Structure 1
Amino acid sequence: MPPERIESPFAALKRESRSGIGLLVLFSFCINILVLTSPIYMMQTYDRVLASGHQETLLFMTLIAGVAVLVMGLLEAVRSRILGRLGDWLEQKLAPDLIAASMRGALQGLAPNAQALRDLATVRGFIGGNGVNAGLDSPWTPIFITVIWLMHPMLGTIALAAAVVLLVTALIGEALARAPMQSAQKLAISNTHKADSALRNAEVFQAMGMLPGFLATWMRQCHRAIGLQREAGDRHAALTGFSKFFRLFVQILILGAGAYLVLRHELTPGGMIAASILLGRALAPVDQAIGAWKAFIAARDAWGRLSRLLTGLPPLPAVMPLPAPKGAVACEQVVVQMAGRDQPTLAGVSFSLAPGEVLGILGPSAAGKSTLCRLLTGTWKPSRGHVRLDGADIFRWPAEQLGPFIGYLPQDVELFSGSIMENIARLAPEPDPQAVVDAAVTAGVHEIILRLPSGYETQIGEGGSVLSGGQRQRIGLARALYRRPRLIVLDEPSANLDTEGEAALNRAIVAAKGWGATVILVAHAPRILAPADKLLVLQDGQVRLFGPRDEVLAKLAGAPPAAGPPRPRVVVQHSLHPAVAGLGHPLGAATSGAPG
Structure 2
Amino acid sequence: MASALAQTRKAFYGIAALSAVTNILMLTGPLFMMQVYDRVLTSRSVPTLVALTLLALGIYAFLAVLEMMRSKILLQIGRRIDEELSDPTFNSVLTLPLNMAKGDAVSQPLRDLDQIRTFMSGSGPIAICDLPWMPLYILILYIFHPYFGYAAIAGAAFLMALTFCSEFLLRDPTRKLSQLVSARWELVEAGKRNAEPLHAMGMRTAYANRFDEVNRRYVEGQTTTSDLTASFSAVSKIFRMALQSAILALGAWLVIQQLASPGAIIASSILTSKALSPIEMVIGQWRSFINARQSRRRLEDVLERFGEARSPMPLPAPKRSLSVAGLAVMPPGSNKPIIHDVSLSLFAGQGLGIIGPSGSGKSTLSRALVGIWPAARGSIRLDGAALNQWDPEALGPSIGYLPQGVDLFDGSIAENISRFSPDANPGMIIEAAKLAGVHDLILSMPNGYDTAIGNHGAILSSGQRQRIGLARALYGKPFLVVLDEPNANLDSEGEVALTRAITAIRAAGSIIIVVAHRPNALQALDHVLVMNGGAMVAFGPRDEVLRKTTRPTSTPASAPTEAPALPDAETTGEPEAPKSGKRIAI
TM-score (norm 2): 0.91
Partner residue in 2 for 1:582 = none
**For residues 97-112 of structure 1, what are the structure 2 equivalents within 5 Å?**
97-110=88-101, 111=104
Partner residue in 2 for 1:234 = 227
Q: Secondary structure at the match of 1:44?
A: helix
Partner residue in 2 for 1:187 = 180
Partner residue in 1 for 2:86 = 95
Q: Provide the rounded CA distance (Å) in 2 between the counterparts of 1:404 and 1:70.
A: 60
**For residues 188-337 of structure 1, what are the structure 2 equivalents within 5 Å?**
188-313=181-306, 316-337=309-330
Q: Secondary structure at the match of 1:56?
A: helix
Q: Secondary structure at the match of 1:360?
A: strand
Residues 191-216 of structure 1: per-residue CA shift (max 9 Å, x gap):
22122212211122122212222222
Q: Provide the rounded CA distance (Å) in 2 between the counterparts of 1:487 and 1:394.
A: 12
Q: Provide the rounded CA distance (Å) in 1 between the counterparts of 2:283 and 2:203.
A: 44
**For residues 553-568 of structure 1, what are the structure 2 equivalents within 5 Å?**
553-557=546-550
Query: Are residues 64 and 576 of structure 1, via their aligned partners in 2, closer, same or farther at CA, if it must alter by over 3 Å?
Result: closer
What is the identity, as a one-letter code, of the residue corresponding to 2:302?
Answer: L
Query: Are residues 432 and 30 of structure 1, via their aligned partners in 2, closer, same or farther at CA, if it must alter by over 3 Å?
Result: farther
What is the identity, as a one-letter code, of the residue corresponding to 1:37?
Answer: T
RMSD (CA atoms) = 2.3
Q: Does the CA contact (< 8 Å) of 1:39 and 1:273 recur in 2? A: yes
Q: Secondary structure at the match of 2:324?
A: strand
Query: Are residues 595 and 37 of structure 1, via their aligned partners in 2, closer, same or farther at CA, if it must alter by over 3 Å?
Result: farther
What is the identity, as a one-letter code, of the residue corresponding to 1:113?
Answer: V
Tell me the CA shift for residue 528 of structure 1.
1.9
Q: Provide the rounded CA distance (Å) in 1 between the counterparts of 2:468 and 2:190.
A: 24
**For residues 134-533 of structure 1, what are the structure 2 equivalents within 5 Å?**
134-313=127-306, 316-338=309-331, 344-533=337-526
Partner residue in 2 for 1:4 = none
What is the identity, as a one-letter code, of the residue corresponding to 2:125?
Answer: V
Q: Secondary structure at the match of 1:413?
A: coil
Tell me the CA shift for residue 572 of structure 1.
8.1
Residues 166-224 of structure 1: per-residue CA shift (max 9 Å, x gap):
11112213323333333233223212212221221112212221222222232123222
Q: Provide the rounded CA distance (Å) in 1 between the counterparts of 2:497 and 2:206.
A: 43
Q: Does the CA contact (< 8 Å) of 2:142 and 2:149 recur in 1? A: yes
What is the identity, as a one-letter code, of the residue corresponding to 1:100?
Answer: N
Residues 374-428 of structure 1: per-residue CA shift (max 9 Å, x gap):
1111111111111111111111211111111111111111101111111111122
Q: Secondary structure at the match of 1:521?
A: strand
Query: Are residues 380 and 341 of structure 1, via their aligned partners in 2, closer, same or farther at CA, if it must alter by over 3 Å?
Result: closer
Q: Provide the rounded CA distance (Å) in 2 between the counterparts of 1:381 and 1:46.
A: 78
Unaligned runs of 5+ in 2: 553-560, 570-582
Q: Does the CA contact (< 8 Å) of 1:406 and 1:485 recur in 2? A: yes
Q: Does the CA contact (< 8 Å) of 1:103 and 1:112 recur in 2? A: no
Q: Provide the rounded CA distance (Å) in 2 between the counterparts of 1:494 and 1:575.
A: 19
Query: Are residues 235 and 11 of structure 1, via their aligned partners in 2, closer, same or farther at CA, if it must alter by over 3 Å?
Result: closer
Q: Among the aligned pairs, what percent are the same residue? A: 42
Tell me the CA shift for residue 575 of structure 1.
5.2
Please tell me whether residue 577 in structure 1 is matched to residue 576 in structure 2.
no
Query: Are residues 341 and 92 of structure 1, via their aligned partners in 2, closer, same or farther at CA, if it must alter by over 3 Å?
Result: closer
Q: Does the CA contact (< 8 Å) of 1:262 and 1:268 recur in 2? A: yes
Residues 104-163 of structure 1: per-residue CA shift (max 9 Å, x gap):
222113446322222322333333332232122112112221222222211011011101
Partner residue in 2 for 1:33 = 24
What is the identity, as a one-letter code, of the residue corresponding to 1:82?
Answer: I
Tell me the CA shift for residue 231 of structure 1.
2.6
Please tell me whether residue 24 in structure 1 is matched to residue 15 in structure 2.
yes
Query: Are residues 245 and 49 of structure 1, via their aligned partners in 2, closer, same or farther at CA, if it must alter by over 3 Å?
Result: same
Query: Are residues 430 and 270 of structure 1, via their aligned partners in 2, closer, same or farther at CA, if it must alter by over 3 Å?
Result: farther
Q: Secondary structure at the match of 2:433?
A: helix
What is the identity, as a one-letter code, of the residue corresponding to 1:36?
Answer: L
Q: Does the CA contact (< 8 Å) of 1:353 and 1:518 recur in 2? A: yes
What is the identity, as a one-letter code, of the residue corresponding to 2:71?
Answer: S
What is the identity, as a one-letter code, of the residue corresponding to 1:471?
Answer: Q
Q: Provide the rounded CA distance (Å) in 2 between the counterparts of 1:573 and 1:14.
A: 63
Partner residue in 2 for 1:588 = none
1:43 to 34, 41, 44: 34
Deviates more, 1:55-64 or 1:486-495: 55-64
Partner residue in 2 for 1:69 = 60
What is the identity, as a one-letter code, of the residue corresponding to 1:292?
Answer: Q
Q: Secondary structure at the match of 1:209?
A: coil
Q: Provide the rounded CA distance (Å) in 2 between the counterparts of 1:296 and 1:521.
A: 52
Q: Provide the rounded CA distance (Å) in 2 between the counterparts of 1:29 and 1:595.
A: 79
Q: Provide the rounded CA distance (Å) in 1 between the counterparts of 2:236 and 2:490.
A: 68
Tell me the CA shift for residue 324 of structure 1.
1.7
Q: Provide the rounded CA distance (Å) in 1 between the counterparts of 2:432 and 2:136.
A: 70
Q: Provide the rounded CA distance (Å) in 1 between the counterparts of 2:328 and 2:200.
A: 39
Query: Are residues 112 and 370 of structure 1, via their aligned partners in 2, closer, same or farther at CA, if it must alter by over 3 Å?
Result: farther
TM-score (norm 1): 0.89
Tell me the CA shift for residue 573 of structure 1.
6.8
Residues 467-521 of structure 1: per-residue CA shift (max 9 Å, x gap):
0111100110111111121111111111111011011111111121122111111
Q: Secondary structure at the match of 2:464?
A: helix
